[in-house]
């Protein structure tokens, strides 16, 4: 999903032209919802009481917008927490949630920090990956989970890897989609020309104000394109969330708060010992093979790799294939 931002890089040159810069600015402003309709709707959601649905959940002084499924069908079943990536919400998981419920799991998919209107701090350091991991653990506490399966895609995978490194006792298993172990990915950024080429967007996306301006162009057309025709709720949700003032900056701050290609802040012990599944798409525009090979030395627990004929948005492109791999892994974990 992050690859789409890279396509906008050529427009950065145009911003140097005052006339075009003004055009982009006012075009972006026109796309904003200054009435904060998305936030208003989120604030009206019911509090979590144990049932299914779209609810509010409290953690660390913030209010999170959370999708809950399987609690009524599978009471007491092992919980699975799904972490979305950039630039989407928990709606990205809609194509596979029913698969997981049918397989006998309880499912929790939060809109993470910056994406939930009630969890959108302004300070850059508030988006460091350690804060994002702490949010996940606090949400699990709020929901009453001592342990849980953790699944993440894109940035959600980065958070999941860090959780497995720093709080392995909380995880039944780890499933990472499209983003490799942070040390392996950092190595690839330093050593592999192919990964460096694929990751050129990071230079643009970490700049102040410009990425937000580009994201909002043409009434968020590029964000709208990330939704699936089979799931119109995705398109509505992505555009509504990112059209709010401050939302795009909050989402982009995940990148801006991650120095040194992700190596800074890693624990001394880089081994992942929980049962781990890694899924990637053979046509992924963002991830090259170098870090996939490199991460194998860091995963010392049970480890499975699954390659799918898909791009970076594999949950949307091949939901049944992704769900089958996840269910097999989740059922096999202790």
**In sequence order, what DSSP letters do the residues of 70-132 get, joined into one string?**
STTTSTTPPEEEEE--TT--GGGGHHHHHHHHHTT-EEEEE--TTTSTTS--S-GGGGSHHHH
> Residue 204: in which H helix or E strand, if any?
helix 201-205
- Residue 68, phi then psi, degrees to nearest 5: -120, 130
Scan for tokens 């796309």, then name that residue: 31
Strand order in the sheet with 62-69: 53-59, 62-69, 106-110, 79-83, 148-153, 171-177, 276-281, 303-308
CA angle, 82 as apex, 79 and 138 as ends, to 5°? Answer: 70
**In sequence order, what DSSP letters do the residues of 141-199 get, joined into one string?**
HHHT-SSEEEEEETHHHHHHHHHHHH-GGGEEEEEEES---HHHHHHHHHH-HHHHHHT
Let me know: does 124 contact 155? Beta carbons within 8 Å.
no
C-alpha span between 65 and 115 (Å, rounded): 9
C-alpha span between 169 and 267 (Å, rounded): 15
Annotated catalytic residue within 135, 154, 187, 284: 154
Annotated catalytic residue within 149, 153, 162, 312: 312
312 catalytic, yes or no? Answer: yes
Provide the β-strand partners of residue 276: 174, 303
Closest CA to 320 of 43, 65, 99: 99
Closest CA to 116 of 51, 62, 54: 62
Residues designated as active site:
154, 312
């Amino acid at each position: 999903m992050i690859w789409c931002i890279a396509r906008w890089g050529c427009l950065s040159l145009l911003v140097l032209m005052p006339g075009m810069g003004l055009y982009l600015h006012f075009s972006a402003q026109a796309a904003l919802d200054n009435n904060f309709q998305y936030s208003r709707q989120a604030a009206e959601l019911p509090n979590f009481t144990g049932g299914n649905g779209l609810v509010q959940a409290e953690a660390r002084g913030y209010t999170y917008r959370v999708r809950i499924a399987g609690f009524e069908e599978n009471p007491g079943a092992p919980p699975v927490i799904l972490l979305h990536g950039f630039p989407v919400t928990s709606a990205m998981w809609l194509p596979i949630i029913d698969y997981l419920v049918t397989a006998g799991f309880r499912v929790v998919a939060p809109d993470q920090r910056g994406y939930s209107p009630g969890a959108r701090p302004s300070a850059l350091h508030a988006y460091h990956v350690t804060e994002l991991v702490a949010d996940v653990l606090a949400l699990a506490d709020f929901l009453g989970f001592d342990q849980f399966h953790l699944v993440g895609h894109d940035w959600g995978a980065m958070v999941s890897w860090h959780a497995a490194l720093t709080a392995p006792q909380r995880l039944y298993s780890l499933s990472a989609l499209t983003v490799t172990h942070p040390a392996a990915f950092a190595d690839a950024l330093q050593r592999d020309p192919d990964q460096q080429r694929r990751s050129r967007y990071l230079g643009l996306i970490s700049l102040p104000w410009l990425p937000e301006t580009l994201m909002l162009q043409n009434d968020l057309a590029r964000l709208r394109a990330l939704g699936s025709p089979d799931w119109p709720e995705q398109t509505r949700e992505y555009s509504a969330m990112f059209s709010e003032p401050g939302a795009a900056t909050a989402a982009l701050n995940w990148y801006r708060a991650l120095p040194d290609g992700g190596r800074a802040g890693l624990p001394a012990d880089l081994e992942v010992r929980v049962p781990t599944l890694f899924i990637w798409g053979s046509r992924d525009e963002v991830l090259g093979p170098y870090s996939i090979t490199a991460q194998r030395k860091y995963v010392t627990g049970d480890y499975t790799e699954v390659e799918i004929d898909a791009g970076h948005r594999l949950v949307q492109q091949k939901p049944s294939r992704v769900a089958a791999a996840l269910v097999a892994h989740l059922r096999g974990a202790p």
